[in-house]
Chain A
Amino acid sequence: MESLTFRHTTTKPLPGTKPQAITGVVASGNLEILLERVLPPDAVEVAIETPIAGYGPVWEAVVADFVARAQPGGVRISINDGGARPDTVSLRLLQGARLMEA
């Protein structure tokens, strides 16, 4: 297993007041994402546990793209990966952010 953590600052907090959300399932080609509104409003942290080693740069790019698009300030994001493709990761991250905004 490989552990990766990425920290970003955002220009605004993620809208909504939902304290927590979870989406996805740890299964082959899938992943689960836990979102918790526990950080300062301009901070975001994404912690990943993945069984596929060596994809740090890909994760870094996917996370940076998500942060730029969603501006998920204040949220700590924890990922248990089951070997998901980057497009699946992006989709789930955006789903998770929408759940928090609901």
Chain B
Amino acid sequence: MTLAEILASLFPGGHAVAVTDGLVSGDGPFEGGRLRVIGIDGDTPLGVEGALDLAGHVLDAVRAGDRAPILVAVDSDSQRMSRRDELLGLNECLAHLAKALLLADRHGHPTVGLLYGHSAAGAFIATALATRVLAALPGAAPSVMDLPSVARVTKLPLETLQEMAHSTPVFAPGLDNMLAMGAVHAVLDPDTALGPQIRDLIAALPERDERDRLGRERGGRPVAQAVAEVVAGQVRGG
């Protein structure tokens, strides 16, 4: 689905969500209140300015104190890879955006990610992965690392990696693999209205971070949850 189609499905009565230079912001009527929307469209890389613009919208929402849900719609590139962005502290700006979303969550704003295109690396962590629950639409294409890069570093032939990707979801790009990690909670149905599907996600928001549990149940991260629990138990016990 395109962003326009998503917004039309979410807000059949119209909305005030705009896209400027690939950055999405605005809101629309939702369940008797408002649904705030921020995001990245058109496979746009996320740089220092974009991260601060989006964080500004999120902090405005927290200041408004209305506890309106925040949808983070993502079709992005990775972080913008440039000398200038790093010189200006891209790590601080991306972390700031993630912290803003995590703060909004603490202040009672349900945060829902919606991955409808590409996303990767730092841009993915700062946006979709900083929400309480992350949904995706069929065709979404998250890629932490692209296979040619993996092939270059591991010195394994691309064909070998493609073959290995059939047996493990742990390294290769793709929505199914991020589902198996527990990073993506659910895939929505593009053929029915999105509003009720988002509403249901909000109604069933997990109390705590359950991505490692999902990763274990789905087989993508067989040991992460057990490792975290053993460490937490030993630390608290000792």
Q: Do chains A and B touch in the complex (CB under 8 A)?
A: no
- Name B residues whose Cβ lies closer than 8 Å to a Cβ of A: none
